[in-house]
Structure 1
Amino acid sequence: MKKFISRTAAFIAAAAIMLSATVSCSESESDKRAKKDTNLAGGDVDENVSLNLDQMPYGAEYQKLLPEDYDTPLGVDRDPRYVSDAEAAKLADYFYAISAKDTAYLEKALHPDFLKYVLETTGSESAQDFLEKEYELIKQYTGSDFTFTFVLVDGIMKNTDVTGMEAYDARLEKAVPNANVSDKKALMVNCTYSKPNDGGSYSLQMRLGEYVTLCVYTIDGEPYVVF
């Protein structure tokens, strides 16, 4: 993982290696422009394969969750069959918190015990200190100040592949012992961002050279971001 990812979750480097063997990413509009083959199905669909949407892999359908439709600070593009409105909203909260340096949204995105654990393990004096550090680390890749404008979930770990989740499970267990988890998923996330006095839109994934891998765990019925 890139530096700012390892800052928030150094142990995830090993998980990322496992995930690379178990996760294929679906093709988003940004990826089409980059001419990358990231089809979760792993190649062309045979003409005899059913094209029923319910049987199609991640990325067969995309839908935008917009701030005016749901209480989110950013829009999120994702396959709604795999990523719910509530899960998408937590991703929006997380990325907005970083670029706006807004602790209220960080507290919405993370389970309170997990947030406490993150602050302890990253040596952050406060949630504000953590966000300031994250912002500066990402800025090394954007090359300037930035504001996240949109979140794109371009891939998801297959439900049958659980090995790559073990590192995340272990981290969550340390942070929230015996958490009542009813669902979990690893997501391959990209963000668009803008720069000050610049009308352009830029891709974080293109700057990093890889997706940001984030998990969403549903704990006591509420989704939270885990990294």
Structure 2
Amino acid sequence: MEMKNINQFKIREWLDVQDIYLSEHYAELNPTWHEEDSPWKARQVRDIIDRNNLEISSFCEVGCGTGEILLNLTNSYPDVQFTGYEIAPHAYQRAKEKETSQLTFKFGDALEEKNANFDVVLIADVIEHVEDYIGFVKGMKGFGRYKIFHIPLDLSVQSVFRGWPISNLRKNVGHIHYFFKDSALDALRDCGYSIIDFKYTASRLELPKQALSSRLMKLPRRLCFSVFPDWTVRVLGGYSLLVLAE
């Protein structure tokens, strides 16, 4: 499914919400495509794979951006074949330059791919951007046995109270859905998934290039999390959820 064969009608259906990715707008707001976060995200994925002893020969990422997470994972799993799907032309072109015999990128909607099946499918920081995320998550069920979701937990007491953090996520990085732990897990279950494993990831504490407010909150979040993890995430925020589902 190369760029010239992309279903143009499907792309037009997305334009209302996803024009930020199909145009250069997202690249202008986020010129690195968050590549600096990829080594950290790859470590989180590697951790949940290894602690569940998953046997993998094929691995796919849907919404792979510039492909940096997959590129990092190839170093850990040299015998696995990796494939990435991306709808944003700018990100796809950057990813395409990183292809190897072990790593392939495809341009377009993964849901239109026929007869694709992988051992593990990664959907990292994607569903909060997708207009019909329920339809998207259901559509991914047949794409592979195991799914790994990484979902930012944007809803917390402090984020709702202040308001502007959520507004900025919508304006700057295109989040149109917002989750806390229970709503994220319930959404996956409602889509027919069984939850095998999940864990919090300390995205605002450990990722580079954080805002001043996140840096100031780093120590309180870390201290509180060590004693009351669920309370800390629900009240102070700053975490994401990594989920292994089948």
Whether TM exceeds 0.5 here: the answer is: no
TM-score, scaled relative to structure 2:
0.27
> Which structure's relative contact order is higher, taking Cα pairs within 8 Å and 6+ residues apart?
1
